[in-house]
Amino acid sequence: MTPGGMARLVAADLRRHWRHFAMAAVGIVLGVAALAFFLALGLQVRRVLLEQVFPADRLEVAPRSADLDLLAIRLPLGRDALEADDLGRLAEIEGVLAVRPRMRLTVPALAVGGAAVFGAGLQSEVVADGIDPELLSGELGGAFREVSESFVERPCSRDGECGPDAYCAVSAGICRPYLPAVVSPQVVELYNGALRRAYRLPKLNPDAIAGLSFELIIGASSFAPSSTDPLRERVRLVGVSEWAIPLGLSLPLGEVRRANRRLDSPAAGERFHSAILEIASKDALPGVVAAVEASGLEVSDRGAGRAALLTAVITAALALVGVVLVAVSSAHIMHVLWLVVLVRRRELGVLRAVGARRRDIRALLVLEAAVVGAVAGLLGVVAALAAGAAADAFAGARFPDLPFKPDSFFAFEPALLAAVVALAVGACALGALAPARRAAAGDPADALAGR
C-alpha cells in the first residue's frame, strides 16, 4: 500500500468514527495537560531553588563539626575554622574554579541609626561576617568592595565635604569611607514579618533598601561592657544577597579581618570560618562534594539538597497523575479500536482481498491511533499553556512581591512539550497493537462472508 493511499484511508476512517476517537482522546488531553502542567511547574521551582535560592554552582564548605552535649551546654570538640592549608587543598580539587573564604566578626557589634526611615533612632546587636567581594561581583558589580585600603583620609567639618561615598567623622575631623554591606533575604523577611509588627515599624521594600546607612560600633555590646576602645564606622547597605550571613550583616572580608586583628587578636584575623567554592559546572558537583568530604571537611547544605529532593518527590507524585491518565486513556483507545475493528471487518477483508498485506492492516490501525494521540497531545499542551498563563495571572494579582518570585511559575520548555506529545502518541500506538494484530490475523474470506 502506498503512503498516499494509507493517508487517505486513515483520514476517511477518522472522519467516520470521530465520535469514538474523540471520546477516547478526552483522557489523553487531560493526561497530557496535567503532565505538562506539573512537570513545567516542578522544573521552574527546581530552577529557582537551585539557581537563585540555593545556587548549585556554589558550595559552602566548613570544618566538620563535633559537639558534646553537657546538660544545657554544648561543648565544641572539633575545630571551628579553616586554615590556609585547607584553602589550598580546596583550590586544587578538580572542578573548583575559585575558593572564596569568609570570616566571622569575632567581637560584638551594635547597629545604631534609622531615624530617617523609622522616625526615631534604633539600636540593635548585630551578628556580622566578612565575605570576598568577588563573590558578589556578578550581583552587585563594584558596589560591594574593599574601601579602607584605597581611601585617602582628609580633614573635614561636615559630610558634604567628603563626597558621595564618604562621611565626616566629626570627632576625628577626617573623612572616612562608608563600609558597604549586604543582608540576606531572610533578614528582610524577618523584619517585614515579625519585627516590624512587634515594634510598629514601617515595612521595607527589599528592592529599595540600597543606600540606607547607619552607624556600626564594632567591639561594643548592650550585654557587657567592652574591654577595648570600639571602632565606630558608618555602614551603607548596597543590596540583598543570598550569600550574605542568614541573620546578620555581611561586610567586605578585608574590613572584618582588620577589625578582628585590632579588637580580638592577630590570629583572629587569619582564621576563616568557612569558604564558598565556585564550581565549573553542575556536572562536577558530585565529584567536588566527594573530594571535600574526603579532606575531612563538610558541605554546608543550606537546604539545597532537602529542597531539591522535596521538589523532585512532589513533582514526581503530581506527574504520576498525568501518566496514569495517559495510561488509562491508552486502554480506552485500545477498547475503541476493538470496536472499530469489529465494525470494519468487511472493509478490512476487502482490503486484504485486493492485495493489502497483514502489515498494511497493522500499520493502518496503529497509524490511526497515533494520529489521535498526536492531536490529543497537542490539545493537551495548549490546555497546559492556558492553565499556566491563568495560574501566573492569578499569582501576579494575589501574591506579594517576595524575594526570588519568578515572572512565571512554569518552565514550558520545547523539549518538555515535545516529550509529552510523543508520550501521548506512543501510548495510543501501544494501545492499538493488540487490535491491529487481531485485525491483521483474520481470514479475508471469513470477513467477506460475515463470519
Residue pLDDT, tens place only, 345-358: 656 555 655 556 66
| Cβ atoms 93, 292 nearer than 8 A | yes
As a whole number of angstroms, the longest Cα–Cα distance in the chain is: 113
Residue 86, pLDDT above cutoff 50: yes
How far is residue 55 from each of residues 81, 132, 305, 344, measured CA to CA in Å? Answer: 24, 17, 11, 59
The angle subtended at Cα 441 by Cα 435 and Cα 447, nearest 5°, is 95
pLDDT, mean of residues 37-44: 82
- Residues 132-156 have a mean pLDDT of 88
The pLDDT of residue 116: 67
Report which residue type is found at 407: D
> Is 139 within 8 Å of 239 (Cβ atoms)?
yes
Do 374 and 412 fall within a single domain?
yes
Same domain, 18 and 99: no
Q: What gap in Å lies between CA 233 and CA 250, rounded to an integer? A: 14
* φ, ψ for residue 128, nearest 5 deg: -135, 155
Domain boundary among 268, 300, 332: 300
Predicted confidence (pLDDT) at residue 182 exceeds the cutoff of 70:
yes
How much is the pLDDT for 199?
76
Residue 180 pLDDT greater than 90, yes or no: yes
pLDDT for 127 equals 92
Query: Residue 133: what pLDDT?
Result: 93
In a shared domain, residues 190 and 131: yes
Task: Specify whether 26 is located in the same domain as 160.
Answer: no
Phi, psi of 363 (to 5 degrees): -65, -35
Closest by CA to 384, choosing from 358, 346, 417, is 417
For residue range 227-257, what is the model confidence (pLDDT) as tens digits? Answer: 678 888 999 999 998 889 988 999 999 999 9
> Contact at 8 Å (CB) between 435 and 338?
yes
pLDDT number for residue 381? 92
Residues 50 and 193 in one domain: no
Long-range contacts of 151-157 (CB under 8 A, 24+ apart): 151/175, 151/176, 151/177
Tell which wins on pLDDT, 176 or 431. Answer: 176
Is residue 68 scored above 80 in pLDDT? no
Q: Are residues 144 and 288 in the same domain?
A: yes
Say which residues have a Cβ less than 8 Å from residue 140's Cβ, sequence separation at least 6.
Answer: 182, 238, 239, 241
DSSP per position, 184-222: -HHHHHHIIIIIHHHHT-PPP-TTS-TT-EEEEEET--S
What average pLDDT does the segment 136-159 reach?
Answer: 88
Alpha helices in 276-303 (DSSP H): 285-294
What torsion do the CA atoms of 234, 239, 244, 249 make, to the nearest 10 degrees? 20
User: Binning pLDDT at 50, 70 and 90, where does residue 60 land?
Assistant: confident
Q: Could you say which of 266, 281, 300 is where a domain stops?
A: 300
> What do you get for the CA distance between the two ends of the chain, in Å?
26
Residue ranges making up the domain that contains 24: 3-54+307-449
pLDDT at 56 over 80: no
Q: Assign 447 a pLDDT band (cuts: 50, 70, 90).
A: very low
Measured at the alpha carbon of residue 247, what is the angle toward residues 280 and 218, in degrees to the nearest 5? 105
Tell me what the mean pLDDT of segment 206-210 comes to. Answer: 81
117, 253: one domain: yes
Q: Determine the pLDDT at residue 396.
A: 75
What is the per-residue pLDDT across 98-115, written as a single tens digit (0 to 9) for each? 999 999 999 999 999 877
Structural domains of the chain, count:
2
162's grid cell: 567628603
Q: Is the pLDDT assigned to residue 194 strictly greater than 90?
A: no
The pLDDT of residue 448: 47
3-state secondary structure of 449: helix
Do 204 and 146 touch, CB atoms closer than 8 A? no
| Other beta carbons within 10 Å of 113 | 18
What is the average pLDDT score of the chain?
79
Q: Same domain, yes or no, for 218 and 363?
A: no
Q: Please state the length of the chain.
A: 451
Q: Which is nearest to 214 in space by CA: 189, 239, 178, 187?
A: 178
Say if residue 183's pLDDT is above 70.
yes
- Which residues in 167-185 are b (16+ Cβ under 10 Å) and which e? bbbeeeeebbbbbbbbbbb
Say whether both 219 and 167 belong to one domain. yes
Instruction: Indicate if 271 and 347 belong to the same structural domain.
Output: no
- Measuring CA to CA, which residue among 391, 131, 372, 412 is closest to residue 246? 131
- Most confident stretch, 22-31, 80-89, 126-135: 126-135
Question: Residue range 11-40: average pLDDT?
Answer: 76
296 and 314 in a single domain? The answer is no
Domain boundary among 300, 320, 340: 300
Mean pLDDT of 367-386: 87
Region 342-371: mean pLDDT is 67
Q: What is the pLDDT of residue 413?
A: 87
Residue 66 pLDDT grade (very low, low, confident, very high; cuts 50, 70, 90): low
Question: What is the predicted pLDDT for the residue at 259?
Answer: 92
Spatial separation of the C-alpha atoms in residues 283 and 95, rounded to whole Å: 9
Instruction: Looking at the structure, tell me whether residues 17 and 104 fall in a common domain.
Output: no
